[in-house]
Amino acid sequence: MMDITSILYPVISIGGLGILFGAGLGYASKKFAVEVDERIPKVRDLLPGANCGGCGFAGCDAFAKAVVEGTVNPSGCSVNSKEAIEEIAAFMGLKVEQTEKKVAVVKCKGTCDKSTNKYEYYGITDCRDAALIPGGGAKGCSYGCLGLGSCKKVCPFGAIKIEDGIAVIDEEKCTACGNCVKACPKAVIELVPVSKQVRVLCNSLDKGKEVKESCSVGCIGCRMCVKVCEYGAMNFENNLAHVNYEKCTQCMACVKKCPTKAIHGEIISEEVNSSTQAS
């Protein structure tokens, strides 16, 4: 006959251990309980959840926590839709700070046919590595987009593609999280207001002659745009033109004047143009 103890002992010992550990954990969970603010998950649900880090926090969870704690305004998330931001603000009883939607722009038009190469590059397909090589990469212009796609790799929204040797940003998909700006070793990507269409698409600080040698669409520093601008919206610094977006009325005078077509601008119809000038 089977000994009853051979069943009893395992049941008692393992069961006892289980109860002991269970009780210990139960006690510990009371003792080490961490209070969580119940508003945090609700705010978190209204965030996009991409965890892109564009807001400067570790992720959407950390951002939600900061919103509840009041250290940051809901509009600090540039990725979120306007409606969701307003919903969070209403939920938290806050006012929304209006921020103009921005978009990332690659300040380089030097596609394969328009710019020269210093040498043939066969190496790691990453700009941050290529930029460390003497000369700062294969591109003739040492300020231009290398087109190896470091920005594409870090974009959480798939808004960047490499076309014809330079990075191209899809403005529809871009949420201005700024990851690509940080990733680019050439600092060729910049966040600009989405409504301003006049942009200098060149990053070169070289003198005109050197720019001409390496690229046919670079800013050669002729200052034509500065002279032609009636609103004083063009600044000139280190051989490169900059647009002052607050002053620019998008009259397109500089776009038409630029001899190398380094200033990009979509020609807006006359009607819109005149109304912006009137205001």
Partner 1 sequence: MELFILFLSAILVNNFVLSRFLGICPFLGVSKKVETAVGMGMAVTFVMTLASMISYMVYNWILVPFKIEYLYTIAFILVIASLVQFVEMVIQKVSPTLYQALGVYLPLITTNCAVLGVAVLNMNEGYNLIQSIVHGVGAALGFTLAIVLFAGIRERMENNNILTAFQGFPIALITAGLMSIAFLGFQGLL
Three-state secondary-structure class, residue 168: strand
- Provide the token pair at 40: 């945090």
Selected binder of partner 1 within 13, 244, 274, 275 (CB under 8 A) = 13
Q: Give residues with Cβ within 8 angstroms of 232, minimum separation 6.
A: 244, 247
Nearer to partner 1, 32 or 158 (CB): 32
Selected binder of partner 1 within 2, 4, 33, 278 (CB under 8 A) = 33
Hey, which residues between 34 and 73 contact partner 1 (CB under 8 A)?
34, 58
Nearer to partner 1, 26 or 135 (CB): 26
Nearer to partner 1, 28 or 187 (CB): 28
Selected binder of partner 1 within 78, 125, 197, 235 (CB under 8 A) = 125
Size of the site for partner 1 (CB under 8 A): 21
- Parallel, antiparallel or unpaired: strands 234-237 and 199-200: unpaired
Residue 114's nearest CA partner among 163, 79, 60, 150 is 163
- Parallel, antiparallel or unpaired: strands 102-106 and 166-169: unpaired
Q: How far is the CB of 5 from partner 1 (least distance, A)?
A: 9
Regarding 24 and contact with partner 1 (CB under 8 A), the answer is yes
Selected binder of partner 1 within 1, 4, 32, 237 (CB under 8 A) = 32
Hey, which residues between 141 and 200 contact partner 1 (CB under 8 A)?
none
Nearer to partner 1, 57 or 196 (CB): 57
- Provide the token pair at 129: 């590595």
Q: How far is the CB of 24 from partner 1 (least distance, A)?
A: 7
Residue spans of beta strands (DSSP E) within the chain? 102-106, 160-163, 166-169, 189-193, 199-200, 234-237, 240-243, 263-264
- Give me the DSSP letters along 194-213: TT---EE-----S-HHHHHH
Residue 260's nearest CA partner among 117, 132, 114 is 114
DSSP 75: G
Regarding 25 and contact with partner 1 (CB under 8 A), the answer is yes
Q: How far is the CB of 14 from partner 1 (least distance, A)?
A: 6
Binding-site ranges for partner 1 (CB under 8 A): 9-10, 13-14, 17-18, 21-22, 24-25, 28-29, 32-34, 58, 123-126, 129
